[in-house]
Structure 1
Amino acid sequence: MKYADLAQAQAQVLIDLMKEGKPFLPFLKPGDPSTINGLPYNPTTGKAYRGGNRVMLWIAGMVNHFEDNRWLTYKQAQAVGAQVRKGEKSIPLRYVMFPNGQEAESAAVVQPWMDKPRTFFFNVFNAEQIEGLPPPPQRPETTPHQRIERCEQLVKDSGAVIVHGASGPHYAPRSDKIGMPYPERFITPDGYYAALTHELAHWTGHESRLARDLSGAFGSESYAREEMIAETASHIMGVELGIGHDPSQHAAYIHHWMKIAKEDPSFVYTAAAAAEKICDFVGLERYAYEPLPQVEQAHEVEGGVDVAFGAMDIPSLEAVSVAVRERPSDVALSL
């Protein structure tokens, strides 16, 4: 299955779930403490996949009922002494890069003078499709004090102006201020910071920062698109900070999100890429697992080369171009 076809199929999965009254991101298990171990990551680099690739793997894991959130290429599995089981189907992921070697996803604002980025594809398998891998490690839990301390530092370092006393959390683009109820109005400190980081995500969209379209009125499609970006960003921050994510406001956007997913299936991945830029902009510290030790270097596979991309360990543009030209073209997924 090609990447575009998979995106279309995954969009339909989300549409069907939303029709059932499920939250827009039902595969994120909001409020579940195990979410802290739920970020798809590459065990050979220890780093989480990002942007659209993260969402692609979230949904693939949900559809295929995978409990393990480790994903790696055929060659990477071989390199750590493991082997993909015969007949298993891979998931196509993509990597976008400018000709000068800059990762497109990490470019906060694409300037007119930048050359058109190029898209490369590579395939990964879930750890449950692979034999010989050790059990997945568990991410250490943080204390309430550590969580609050990290949240406070993130907000402080952002420089955002926070005004307390509001009836509800909101960001006002014209005044460029975040309005928040007093912390004691929230049941827990985690709840307060979960709401604040959501508004901080909107705050990054100001024209002086990441310059997203914040002109839409509540109830409009453009407002719903921005909300999708902010919700994805606040979930990522909630996982990394250990404070969780509350999707209770999703009901107000379900109708628009179904329409967007139907008309533009790729937007969920575009929104995820924008969410990653938000997290990078505010300086969110990302957790990385200890990489698995390599047993031996992977060798060329008969019939082509399996592109050994890590989550963030990307080779040069020249190496990428050669590998992509030579990789096998048959990619499939059972949905």
Structure 2
Amino acid sequence: MKTNNQLAERFAEILIRKMEEMKSEKWEKPWFDVSGKINFYPQNYTGRKYTSGNAFLLLLACSWEGYRTPLFLTFNQCRELEIKIIKNEKSFPIYYKNFLVYHRENNKRINIDDYNLLTEEEKKNWRLISYLKNYNVFNLDQTNFASIYEDEFNRLVDKFNATENEFIVDTIFNCPELDRMIEDNSWVCDIILKKQNRAYYSPSNDLIVCPVKNQFPNQHNFYSVLLHEMTHCTGKEERLNRAMGKVFGDNEYAREEVIAELTAAFMGSQLGVFAQPSIESVTYLNGWIKILKQSPDFIFSLLDDVVCASNYMSEKINSRMEILEKVAQ
């Protein structure tokens, strides 16, 4: 079992590697090379999808290693399937929070399930301490699964590598979910498209302004920029209440930019958008590479906010699409 420091260092190593790659590629490649694939979302071999920062980092792993499926197994699952891990393959850590609950006066301990049954007033008498636990997983491609279960593996590859449309980056592109949202003005704040060269979110006006789509030679970038600004608006106090920074370039401002960059990339991968990092974001990536090298444990705070923003956006976009589908029936 890794300590929290070892776990943070491994996660920071994965994110730093991707950030370094994005800088060296001169912004020509997306964060995740899985756009357009159907349901290419990291999950256990049992079909249970990973949550929190685990999903984000395993998707990075799938992207840069070129794994053919997003399926991962534990060592015990490999043993149950009677398959072997390929020599020198390195596992990926999966983390989750566990809790200890102690009474403030007598130190009596109860489990988290019992604590959750208490009233808000009763909970004040108890101390809640969280800590991280982890286990390790391997992608199917890191095992000999393909040779032992050839037919099943081919079926899984077909399942996860099917595309909704031919994926061409430099031609006209449409994202139905976001197009419908813009058309109906159904996002949580107003989105104004105007012919100009700036994209921004105004917290004081709770308003997103973005250039029109035909200003982008690669129209995927229109949606990538839009998702970036949509992320910013999720941080408003009445939504997710993130510290977004007050002065351009301060630490909180830089942190918010990285959150928006990573959230846009993660959401883009789910919507089939080829999300590239902006040139401006490289400045922030440089700063965050330095921070993550000095304080790897910061990765958990960063990823928590990325996942919260992604979940918020997914819920709002998907719930709106479901309402529109019911109306159309």
Normalised-by-shorter TM-score class:
0.5 to 0.7
CA shift at 1:116, angstroms? 3.7
User: How far does the alpha carbon of each residue in 1:154-176 deviate from its partner, in whole angstroms, 9 at most, with x for none?
Assistant: 55443321123253111111111
- The one-letter code matched in structure 2 to 1:158 is W
Structure 1 residues 225, 23: CA separation in 2 closer, same or farther (over 3 Å shift)?
farther
**Distance in 2, Cα, partners of 1:226 & 1:129:** 35
Match of 1:232 among 255, 262, 266: 262
Tell me what 1:138 maps to: 160
**Distance in 1, Cα, partners of 2:174 & 2:30:** 17
CA shift at 1:150, angstroms? 1.2
CA shift at 1:30, angstroms? 0.5
1:30 aligns with 2:30: yes
Structure 1 residues 74, 18: CA separation in 2 closer, same or farther (over 3 Å shift)?
closer
**Distance in 2, Cα, partners of 1:259 & 1:285:** 36
**Distance in 2, Cα, partners of 1:225 & 1:218:** 11
CA shift at 1:196, angstroms? 0.8
For 1:120, what is the secondary structure of its paired residue? strand
Conservation of the 8 A alpha-carbon contact between 1:72 and 1:125: yes
CA shift at 1:82, angstroms? 4.6
Tell me what 2:282 maps to: 251
CA shift at 1:233, angstroms? 0.8
1:119 aligns with 2:146: no
1:129 aligns with 2:166: no
Match of 1:174 among 193, 204, 209: 204
Tell me what 2:189 maps to: 160
Structure 1 residues 216, 82: CA separation in 2 closer, same or farther (over 3 Å shift)?
farther
Conservation of the 8 A alpha-carbon contact between 1:56 and 1:93: no
Structure 1 residues 197, 23: CA separation in 2 closer, same or farther (over 3 Å shift)?
farther
Tell me what 2:214 maps to: 184
**Distance in 2, Cα, partners of 1:254 & 1:71:** 28
1:96 aligns with 2:97: yes
CA shift at 1:153, angstroms? 3.9
Tell me what 1:67 maps to: 67
Q: CA RMSD in A?
A: 4.0
CA shift at 1:229, angstroms? 1.0
Structure 1 residues 167, 20: CA separation in 2 closer, same or farther (over 3 Å shift)?
closer
Unaligned runs of at least 5 residues, structure 1 = 104-110, 287-335
Conservation of the 8 A alpha-carbon contact between 2:78 and 2:85: no
**Distance in 2, Cα, partners of 1:22 & 1:179:** 27
CA shift at 1:78, angstroms? 4.9
Structure 1 residues 277, 101: CA separation in 2 closer, same or farther (over 3 Å shift)?
farther
Q: Which structure exhibits the higher relative contact order, with contacts defined as CA atoms closer than 8 Å and separated by 6 or more residues?
A: 1
Match of 1:148 among 156, 172, 175: 175
User: How far does the alpha carbon of each residue in 1:255-306 deviate from its partner, in whole angstroms, 9 at most, with x for none?
Assistant: 32123212321333432221221122122559xxxxxxxxxxxxxxxxxxxx
For 2:227, what is the secondary structure of its paired residue? helix
CA shift at 1:97, angstroms? 5.2
What percentage of residue pairs aligned between the two structures are identical? 28
Tell me what 2:250 maps to: 220
Conservation of the 8 A alpha-carbon contact between 1:36 and 1:239: yes
Structure with a larger share of its residues in helix: 2
Conservation of the 8 A alpha-carbon contact between 1:201 and 1:234: yes
- The one-letter code matched in structure 2 to 1:85 is I
For 2:175, what is the secondary structure of its paired residue? helix
1:274 aligns with 2:305: yes
User: How far does the alpha carbon of each residue in 1:8-46 deviate from its partner, in whole angstroms, 9 at most, with x for none?
Assistant: 2553565577678826999x9517764445643323216
Conservation of the 8 A alpha-carbon contact between 1:7 and 1:266: yes
**Distance in 2, Cα, partners of 1:16 & 1:276:** 20
Tell me what 1:83 maps to: 83
- The one-letter code matched in structure 2 to 1:140 is A
Structure 1 residues 285, 66: CA separation in 2 closer, same or farther (over 3 Å shift)?
same
**Distance in 2, Cα, partners of 1:21 & 1:30:** 8
Structure 1 residues 75, 213: CA separation in 2 closer, same or farther (over 3 Å shift)?
same
**Distance in 2, Cα, partners of 1:33 & 1:15:** 17
The count of residues paired between Structure 1 and Structure 2 equals: 275
**Distance in 2, Cα, partners of 1:178 & 1:4:** 39
- The one-letter code matched in structure 2 to 1:50 is T
Query: Which is greater in Rg?
Result: 2
- The one-letter code matched in structure 2 to 1:67 is Y
